[in-house]
Amino acid sequence: MMDTKVILQKSQQAARQAGFPDPAPLPLLEGDLQPRGLEDVISRCLCLHAVAAVSFGFDRRRALDWLEREELVSQLTPLEAAFIHGRGSAERFQVQVEALWALAWALAIVPRLDFGTVCSDDFVEMLPDLKAGAGGGSLRKQARLRPLIELVEALDLAYCLHWGIREAELRRKRAPGRVAPYVVEERRRALEWLLSDQEWDEVQLDT
């Protein structure tokens, strides 16, 4: 059984070392967290990949054709489906590349989740080549969920860092850390979704 007190202490220490404010007493994560199934996480990754590609200029029709071939259209969220069909802001989905990075880490496709750096420039090369029409088979074969303890520790750290960002906002101070606040927020979104039953568009990011 996981010791959530030890996990929180580790997260608080990491937050301090990263230059975040000394975390206030924060609630412990629930001890019975369980990750979603592997196929659900893979499908979410592939949907995010296609939607993010459209947000950066990839042709909507080609993205939709690809999603149809991969049998993923039904896995799009309402907001994603609307965006694929031309409604909604691209910026919302551009920043979710960092959420995709966190999920790719959870699937052991990305080797390390460093909250002090943005996703790597070669990230797109780790994912199916949409321009070439490559399917998701290679990713599916490679993917495996990391051990639960690693996922929980990452979520707890993301929560502590996000708390520090919100605290700075309340005090009208510069956000701490070496990356833009959305990086932490989007990665936390992914981890919260992964370890909960919340719908992607409705993930709660309270601190």
Q: 69-96: per-residue pLDDT in tens?
A: 999 999 999 999 999 999 999 999 999 9
Helix (H, G, I), strand (E, B) or coil at 75: helix
Number of domains in the chain: 1
Entry pTM:
0.94
> How many CB atoms lie under 10 A from the CB of residue 37?
10
Domain for residue 192, yes or no?
Answer: yes
* Rounded Cα–Cα distance for residues 99 and 200 (Å): 11
**In this predicted structure, what is the pLDDT of residue 28?**
66
Number of residues that this document lists for the chain: 207
Domain for residue 129, yes or no?
Answer: yes
Domain for residue 10, yes or no?
Answer: no
Domain for residue 191, yes or no?
Answer: yes
Domain for residue 1, yes or no?
Answer: no
Domain for residue 108, yes or no?
Answer: yes
CA 2 to each of CA 8, 65, 154: distance values in angstroms, whole numbers, following the listed order: 11, 43, 14
Domain for residue 58, yes or no?
Answer: yes
| Residue range of the domain that includes 57 | 37-198
Amino acid occupying residue 43: S
Domain for residue 80, yes or no?
Answer: yes
Regions of the chain with pLDDT less than 70? 1, 23-25, 28, 30-31
